[in-house]
Each structure stands twice: as structure tokens, then as C-alpha cells.
């Protein structure tokens, strides 16, 4: 498992929660057992292939404001950890 201080190179597949501010990732898969949450994320446009950028991080480190599909969305780190992305 990658730890959060390690540098992530482009093309690597990691959890979305590991990306830093300003970095972008392309969604590879949603691994979520919570059906309602998974559907909510899909509804908000987090589908395979979509690009997500880390925009703002709350002052206490969580939640995180991400940008996708021309709008912004706030998510908790724990939920972002279940979204696998390919770093761009």
C-alpha cells in the first residue's frame, strides 16, 4: 500500500484520496459496498473515465473539494479512498 508521503507518478493507479492538491486522476473503478453511496457518486458523475482534480482541502485536512465535469463537489477522504484513479 502506498503511503501518503510517497510521490505518485503519472500512470500509477491509486486511491483518489492519495492525490494532492492540484493533481488530477482518471477514474478506473468504484469499489464500494455501500449501495446508496455508490449510486450517489455515480449520480454526481463519478463514472469510469472521468477526470477528477483535487481543488481545495478543508483546513483540517478533510473533507476535500474536487472538480469534475465542470463543477465542484466535496467528499470525505474515506469515501475517496474507494475510488481508484489513474494519476494524470
Residues in the site for other proteins, rule: CB under 8 A?
Answer: 22, 30, 34-45, 47-50, 56, 58-63, 65, 69-76, 78-79
Beta-ladder partners of 85: 14, 27
Q: Cβ of residue 32: shortest distance to other proteins, in angstroms?
A: 9
For the record, the C-alpha cell of 83 comes out as 475510488
Q: Cβ of residue 18: shortest distance to other proteins, in angstroms?
A: 18
Q: Cβ of residue 77: shortest distance to other proteins, in angstroms?
A: 9
Asked whether 14 and 25 are in contact (CB, 8 A), the reply is yes
Amino acid at each position: 500500500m502506498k503511503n501518503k508521503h510517497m510521490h505518485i507518478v503519472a500512470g500509477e493507479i491509486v486511491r483518489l484520496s492519495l492525490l494532492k492538491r492540484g493533481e488530477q486522476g482518471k477514474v478506473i473503478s468504484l469499489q464500494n459496498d455501500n449501495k446508496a453511496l455508490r449510486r450517489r457518486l455515480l449520480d454526481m458523475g463519478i463514472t469510469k473515465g472521468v477526470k477528477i482534480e483535487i481543488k481545495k482541502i478543508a483546513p483540517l485536512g478533510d473533507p476535500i473539494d474536487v472538480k469534475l465535469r465542470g463543477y465542484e463537489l466535496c467528499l470525505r477522504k474515506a469515501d475517496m479512498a474507494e475510488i481508484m484513479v489513474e494519476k494524470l
